[in-house]
């Protein structure tokens, strides 16, 4: 399965099918190609749908969605640079105890530490305020000191 086929199918149906999910979950080469593709091109509708699909699978009682797959989808969405997407990534981090512990908080910060904090400070929802408190604690502990390298195009994230 290649990226052009995946994107074509998505834009025809507005959903990401089980076959595509299985390929993304198991094909290391495809994961790397997806990362490289979205580092160069934008398709936010696909990126949002991919993360929503993975979140939906993770929320199922007998889910088989590892945090690493969620992280890939979060990273791809973050590459689109829409600061409001930090809340969608926070949603993924907040699915359950394992994702809260296992999904890197750095993914929420794709827009920059100060920019994300400033954005969240303008939001009044409970999830935004929870994210803001958590991020401030993480920032004080130095969790974002290597953020530039984390998102560097020369670095392949460990979860790929």
Chain segment 45-54, per-residue pLDDT in tens? 999 999 999 9
Note the pLDDT of residue 106.
Answer: 97
Q: Assess if residue 27 is contained within a domain.
A: yes
pLDDT per position as a tens digit, 64-103: 788 999 999 999 999 999 999 999 999 999 999 999 999 9
Q: Assess if residue 111 is contained within a domain.
A: yes
Total residues belonging to the chain:
160
Q: Assess if residue 158 is contained within a domain.
A: no
Q: Assess if residue 10 is contained within a domain.
A: yes
Given a contact cutoff of 8 angstroms between Cβ atoms, the answer to whether 73 and 54 are in contact is yes
Q: 108 versus 160: which is more confidently predicted?
A: 108
Mean pLDDT of 99-117: 96
Residue 62: band (very low, low, confident or very high) from pLDDT cuts 50, 70, 90: confident
Residue 63: band (very low, low, confident or very high) from pLDDT cuts 50, 70, 90: confident
pLDDT tops 80 at residue 61? yes
Q: Assess if residue 127 is contained within a domain.
A: yes
Q: Assess if residue 55 is contained within a domain.
A: yes
Note the pLDDT of residue 30.
Answer: 96
Model confidence, pTM: 0.95
Q: How many domains does the chain have?
A: 1
Mean pLDDT of 145-150: 93
Supply the mean pLDDT for the chain. 95
Enclosing domain of residue 73:
3-150
Q: Assess if residue 156 is contained within a domain.
A: no
The DSSP call for residue 8 is: H
Alpha-helix runs per DSSP H in the chain? 3-13, 18-26, 28-40, 44-59, 67-78, 85-93, 97-102, 113-121, 126-140, 147-150
Note the pLDDT of residue 65.
Answer: 84
Q: Assess if residue 19 is contained within a domain.
A: yes
Mean pLDDT of 140-145: 96
Note the pLDDT of residue 64.
Answer: 75
């Amino acid at each position: 399965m290649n990226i052009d086929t995946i994107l074509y199918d998505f834009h025809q149906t507005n959903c990401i099918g089980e076959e595509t999910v299985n390929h993304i979950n198991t094909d290391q080469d495809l994961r790397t190609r997806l990362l490289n593709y979205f580092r160069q091109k934008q398709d936010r509708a696909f990126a949002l749908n991919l993360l929503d699909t993975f979140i939906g699978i993770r929320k199922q009682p007998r889910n088989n969605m590892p945090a690493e797959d969620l992280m890939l989808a979060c990273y791809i969405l973050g590459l689109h640079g829409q600061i409001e997407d930090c809340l969608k990534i926070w949603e993924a981090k907040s699915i359950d105890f394992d994702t809260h512990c296992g999904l890197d908080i750095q993914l929420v910060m794709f827009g920059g530490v100060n920019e994300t904090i400033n954005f969240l400070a303008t939001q009044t929802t409970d999830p935004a305020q929870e994210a803001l408190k958590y991020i401030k604690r993480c920032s004080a502990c130095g969790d974002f000191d290597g953020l530039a390298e984390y998102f560097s195009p020369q670095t392949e994230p460990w979860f790929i």
